[in-house]
Amino acid sequence: MSHEHEHGASIAETETRVQDPDTVGKTAVVDEYSNSKDEGEGEGGSLAAVVGDVAALPKGTMDPVYEAKAKVLNHAIQEIGMGRYNWQLFVVVGFGWANDNMWPIVTSLILKPISNEFHPSRPPLLSLSQNIGLLAGAVFWGFGCDIWGRKWAFNLTLGVTAVFGLIAAGSPNFAAIGIFAALWSFGVGGNLPVDSAVFLEFLPGSHQWLLNALSIDWAFAQLIATAIAWPLLGDLTCQEKETCTREKNMGWRYFVIAMGGISMLEFIIRFVFFTIHESPKYLMGKGRDEDAVRVVHDVARRNGKLSSLTIEDLRACESLGAGGAVQTDSAAQLKRKLEKLSLVHVKALFATPKLAFSTSIIMLIWALIGLAFPLYNAFLPFIQASRGAKFGDGSTYITYRDSMIIASLGIPGVLLGCFLIELPRFGRKGTLALSTALTGVFLYGSTTALSSNALLGWNCAYNFCSNVMYAVLYAYTPEIFPTKDRGTGNALTASANRIFGIMAPIIAMFANLETSAPVYTSGALFILAGLLALVMPYESQGKASL
């Protein structure tokens, strides 16, 4: 039997003991950790190691008290199952997914009418401002939610986006709209890092596929944004050849108000009509075990269930320490606090050659996509308008009509992605590689268009494949990080994505948008990212995240 299969056997044995409510206590947890140390010696000697290569960590890098308690909480969440609270959370978490796509689209769609009105010397500076805000938001909210908790960050990200989005409609010049774009993007940047953490920490392992299904909100957001933009920007926007005044160009302002209003409505629903609990694992990590137990029981009550979790179950884990020595609760808390001040979570993601390779490749994939997607998509209206003018039908109305048609292909793309990732011997890696490479191929194909309808067809194919790609990427990435270091892993990939996103408008400022240069560059980056997906060492299909 292979080493990996031996690990798999230990999982089944230890999980059986933990899932018996009568044995969830000191003896079960201590036995579980002891067995994992014995059988996981070659893979790091931690509970993470016995789950498989995805969670392999070096011996001694995991706090055994924290990990044992986390497993008890995981069992409690699974015991409760997927109920009313979890489904409500699925809906409100979807707001974050929607905003992550909606507001960058807003920036893209208003770029042309803003340029007509304010005549900036470098229009891509608007996208640069947006991407700087996204990077700052991902870092601030992503790491910050580990300091003050998920609850406030979960609500405030939408609130910040809505407030500055609404204010932006009154911008008197290009500099002002650039500042407000950075500020609303500061809120947008925190949506996925915070929302994915909140959702995963309340999600039973049996329903992990719902993380992939959340991408349907991402696709719907594109459709809704372009549907609203079509009449507003199509009918109430200055044309390039006429003198553009504020009165003739109110469409983009109404559009920003509409988007800000949607985000404000989402914020109100989250803050007023839904009671978000603090994550039990976050509370446990802060030494607030009683509060963690209380949250689990309240979630069970709202789901119409009962939980067998007791405070004694968590306290029994405190006998675990380095080398099996007794470690007091205060000592365990101190150790966890000191860990937050070090790079232990980053080091854990590079602890073994295989894990370091996986972390590096997924960061590189996110970085390449972070450059390719905005480089092309942020300037799609420019490309459509210039090509349309070449073909004799480049009106603003036609431009936004085409954007609406293109956006409608995103929804079936997400649904196809949900299906493909579960195909045997294809899975996450195969779907990600194929959809990403095809995204680049269809971009290259768009350069051969001899009519506006042909260009529209190529762009529809591109958007369809890119939505398959994102549906897989958003689910696959957190699955290949261990729970203890998942937040850090998500932060690293998000930062790589945003940093390279900042480079996109800088490149575009020095590229000739009247040529196919941005298209060729984006296509090559997508194809390279697709090839890199093939060499990822882990396939998470059918495997529960630790």
Q: Is the dihedral of CA 26, 32, 35, 41 positive or negative?
A: negative
Which DSSP symbol is given to 207? Answer: G
Closest to 282 in 3D by CA, of 154, 151, 477:
151
Q: What CA–CA distance (Å, rounded) separates 399 from 386?
A: 10
Q: Find where tokens 């609404």 sit.
A: 166
pLDDT at site 23 = 41
d(CA 545, CA 44): 17
Pick from 301, 149, 15: nearest CA to 293:
301
d(CA 378, CA 410): 17
Rounded to whole angstroms, how far apart are CA atoms 303 and 212? 23
d(Cα 412, Cα 435) in Å, to the nearest integer? 13
* DSSP assigned state of 543: -
CA distances from 319 to 62, 312, 314, 441 (A): 15, 12, 10, 57
112 vs 122: CA distance, rounded Å: 12
Instruction: Show me where the domains of the chain are located.
Output: 3-80+278-341, 84-276+352-534
Distance CA(335)–CA(454), nearest Å, equals 61
Q: Are 138 and 193 in contact (CB under 8 A)?
A: yes
In the chain, DSSP finds a helix count (H) and a strand count (E) of 24, 0
Say how many Å lie between the first and final Cα of the chain, rounded. 23
CA distance 502 to 408: 27
pTM above 0.85, yes or no: no
Q: How far apart are CA 143 and CA 487, in angstroms?
A: 8
Alpha-carbon gap, residue 305 to 61, rounded angstroms: 36
Please answer whether residues 443 and 339 qualify as being in contact, where contact means their C-beta atoms are separated by less than 8 angstroms. no
Chain centre distance of CA 130: 17
Neighbouring C-beta atoms of residue 479, cutoff 10 Å: 21
Question: Does domain 84-276+352-534 bear CATH number 1.20.1250.20?
Answer: yes
The residue written with tokens 């998509």 in the block is: 377
CA 24 to CA 20: how far, in whole Å?
6
Instruction: Give me the pLDDT at residue 404, please.
Output: 81
Rounded to whole angstroms, how far apart are CA atoms 229 and 50?
51
Structure tokens at 397: 């109305």
Q: How far apart (Å, rounded) are the C-alpha atoms in residues 250 and 67?
A: 55
Q: What is the DSSP string of 83-114?
A: -HHHHHHHHHHHHHHHHHHHHHHHHHHHHHHH
How many CA atoms lie within 13 Å of 104's alpha carbon, on the beta-carbon side?
29
What is the C-alpha R_g of the chain? 24
Task: With beta carbons less than 8 A apart as the criterion, state whether 81 and 204 touch.
Answer: yes
- Alpha-carbon distances, residue 292 vs 26, 112, 113, 313 (angstroms): 18, 50, 51, 12
C-beta neighbour count of 450 within 10 angstroms = 9
Name residue, tokens 């409510």: 21
Residue of 195, 62, 23, 138 whose CA lies nearest to 546: 62
Question: Would you state the pLDDT for residue 483?
Answer: 63
**269: which DSSP letter?**
I
> What span, in angstroms and rounded, lies between the C-alpha atoms of 469 and 465?
6
> Are the C-beta atoms of 440 and 525 separated by less than 8 Å?
yes
- Ranges of the chain with pLDDT below 50: 1-62, 322-331, 334, 337-342, 389, 392, 544-546
* Position 29, amino acid: V
pLDDT of 352: 82
Q: Which residues does 361 contact at the CB level (< 8 Å), separation at least 6?
A: 532, 535, 536
10 Å CB burial of residue 152 (0-12, 13-18, 19+) is middle
